[in-house]
A = this chain, B = another copy of it.
Amino acid sequence: MKFSDLDAIFLPKSAALIGASRNPRKWGFKIGLNVIAEKFRGAFYLVNPKETEFLSRRVYPNIRDIPGAVDLAVIVIPAPLVPSALKECGAKGVKAAVVITSGFRELSPEGEKLEREITGIARDHGILLVGPNTMGIYSADVKLHALMVPVAPFPGKISFVSQSGNLGVQLLTESRSHEVGFQKFVSNGNEAMLHSEDYIEYFGGDPETRTIMIYLEGFKNPQRFLEIARRVSREKPIVLLKGGKTDSGARAALSHSGAMKSTRNISSAIFRQAGIIEVEDTTELLDAAKGFERLPVPRGPNVGIITGGGGLGVITTDACELRGLRVPPLTTGLTEDLRKIMPDFWPGGNPIDLVATGGSRVVHTCIEKLAAEPYIDAVIALGVANRARAFADTPQTIFRTLPPEMLQEKTRVIEEGDRRLAELVHEVIERHRKPIIAVSLARPGLKYEEISPIVTYPTPERAVRVLARMYQYYQLQQRKS
């Protein structure tokens, strides 16, 4: 079997939940609710011989009783019942099955035998098998949330394969407050049939995926993994977090994913050779994926910094140098240009300190002129973006004393400023193909219903870390070509 086309998993026209239940404590309830509440775009059928109705929908006793075709089966029934269910899926012409059920290779030798059995059945019937022992899948375009927990990430261009279901869905949950958008997600469980590299290959060819994100503990086939990664990373950035890097961590990983007993450790140098960007922690995994998803990569190490305050400029400069980037002085020409719009006491230099002028004309000019300089490869702007969000978070007590019309007018002016800055930033990024990153303490959080139009991180250090990773990817690309 070739696994490069996994559309039946991620873009099914119809899906059935085998093991749907009215008992709210059961996964057959929770997953069904997630799929229905998040409005899966395809036909969705429920299967359980002991039930007749679920949230006002009909429940079929058997998948073969479903009138229409079924592309994807999501299976939550007990492990011993999975083989016969898979056979019925085969008879029905189901193309892919997500086996949520656990109790296979990760549990016992009997479970391992059962896992071999279901893999054989799937193979015989040409069914793509996700898992078993997976927490499920998500796909933005068809709005499929076949997940054990209620998670609704922003739709985006990142696709994510996680060898830990728990870590995967936690990151999807957290991703909203990071303003990271996802295209496709799979918790790949025991990898009985499909391995991490199969999903990577598929995401590599998926026109809706711009960046691939991986959490990995072990390999079923390290050589194939690296071959595929090497090929895919030429086209799309692959950002990876390795679990089990240390001795104790590897021991914990062994007891966690029984599927990975064939694990061997792979050094960071080997990941790098395969063009993979290996990150340090879960925060960086989301941060870097977001940068790669939304920005052009810097073609050199030189960063221009614009800052609303001296100390933040200092911190950002330190972070750049510590991460292998540079903060070069401004040319005399640019300094002269900026003097024309800056107050007399502007000290000059990069970081460009806005010295509390902060007017939008000054900010816009600084961004435009920095990005236009041939020796500047990227711009970081501190404290000038997403001001409306920061303003909304300002302690409310302060406003009780103000007339409401003053407050409204202030909000309007700030929102208009945000909008114009975002337009300018997009236009400048397009013109020069250089990344422009904002730093803003405005916590996006769940209360915002959309992703900020400018790529923003909450601290300078995180913005710099992303930029350094993007420059690393650029260097890897250069080396290969």
Contacts and interface: CB of A to CB of B under 8 A. Distances in A.
Q: How large is the interface on A (under 10, 10 to 19, 20 to 34, 35 or more residues)?
A: 35 or more
A314 interface: yes
A296 B446 CA distance: 33
Interface in A303-327: 308-315, 317-322, 326-327
Nearest to A328: B248
Contact of A447 (B349, B441, B447): B447
A351 B257 CA distance: 13
Interface in A130-175: 150-152, 162-168, 170, 173-174
A207 interface: no
A458 interface: yes
A256 B311 contact: yes
A290 B30 CA distance: 36
Nearest to A246: B321
11 contacts: A33-B401, A34-B398, A38-B395, A150-B395, A152-B395, A167-B312, A170-B312, A245-B318, A252-B349, A256-B311, A443-B443
Nearest to A257: B310
A397 B321 contact: no
A300 interface: no
Interface string A339-350: 000000101110
A36 interface: yes
Given A395-B152, A461-B282, A249 B164 contact: no
Nearest to A465: B281
Interface string A278-313: 001111000000000000000000000000111111
Contact of A401 (B37, B103, B245, B246): B37
A243 B318 contact: yes
A62 interface: no
Nearest to A327: B248
A400 interface: yes
B446 A397 contact: no
B401 A174 contact: no
Given A321-B247, A397-B37, A398-B38, A313 B256 contact: yes
A253 B314 contact: yes
Interface string A256-294: 110000000000000000000000111100000000000
Interface string A455-467: 0001111100000
Interface in A215-248: 215, 217, 241, 243-248
Interface in A25-43: 33-34, 36-39
User: In the assembly, how many copies of this chain are there?
Assistant: 2
Given A256-B353, A281-B319, A353-B256, A309 B165 contact: yes
Interface string A361-394: 0000000000000000000000100000010011
A251 B314 CA distance: 8
A461 B171 CA distance: 13
A81 interface: no
A55 interface: yes
Interface in A93-146: 103, 107-108
Given A165-B311, A166-B383, 5 more contacts: A33-B398, A33-B401, A103-B345, A174-B458, A252-B310
A33 B286 CA distance: 39
A246 B322 contact: yes
Q: Considering the complex of A and B, which 8 residue pairs feature the smallest CB-CB distances, nearest first?
A: A164-B311, A166-B309, A256-B310, A167-B311, A249-B318, A246-B321, A152-B395, A243-B314
A24 interface: yes
Contact of A167 (B162, B309, B322, B395): B309
A1 interface: no
Interface in A414-465: 441, 443, 445-447, 458-462
B461 A281 contact: yes
B315 A282 contact: yes
